[in-house]
Amino acid sequence: MLKKQRAQLVLDRLTELYPETTVPLNHSNHFELLVAVLLSAQCTDERVNQVTPALFKLGNSAEIMQHVDIVEIYKIVRPCGLAPQKSKAISNLSKILVEQFDGQVPEDMAELEKLPGVGHKTASVVMSQGFGHPAFPVDTHIHRLAQRWGLTRGKNVSQTEKDLKKLFPKEYWNKLHLQIIFYGREFCSARGCDGRVCDICTSCYPNRKNPFKANKA
């Protein structure tokens, strides 16, 4: 099966399974989404959603959050891991948003990536899920599945993102990255599938004899 055929198979199966893709992180505005995505680094969406109601009660906008003591932020976000760095980033980015963007989250990838604690993946999520711009946020989970399904030989998430953007039409990017995440959690987790178990893996590679070994840097 050619790579383009595998890509079409993946797109068809995921569209059947997940025709609707709700944003997994609870939020009510762009600021809340930005903070929630920042907190989700090396943390589950479920845990983030448990933490953010109390955090956003303290401050659901940059104008309010800039005045919240970092210690108070830390107490709430501690369960998410990397709490010292995340607390500081939330406080500092709030101040920057007020000083440079009138308290609004910028609708610009480059400006988002300049904010404390906001990398390319976080900025991509905000651009796609918050503003609706075509983006293909790739985390380690999407990277793993894309390798298993023969959609990339990239050794890192940056290369995988480039490969996936070439394979799939732009109009599918925002929905597809969520569909892949949902499928990975349900059917093709790191431990639950070795490249020979789930439906998509076995359909893409029906003759795969050995566990799939990732192409690492």
**Which residues are identified as catalytic?**
121, 139
The alpha helices in the chain, defined as continuous H runs, are: 3-17, 30-39, 45-58, 62-65, 70-77, 83-101, 109-113, 120-125, 140-148, 157-167, 173-186, 199-204
DSSP string, 115-166: STT--HHHHHHIIIIIT--------HHHHHHHHHTTS---SSHHHHHHHHHH
Q: List Cβ neighbours of 51 (8 Å cut-off, separation of 6 or more).
A: 39, 76, 77, 79, 80
User: How far is residue 215's CA from residue 148's CA, in Å, rounded to a whole number?
Assistant: 10
User: How far is residue 131's CA from residue 134's CA, in Å, rounded to a whole number?
Assistant: 9
182 by DSSP, 3-state: which? helix
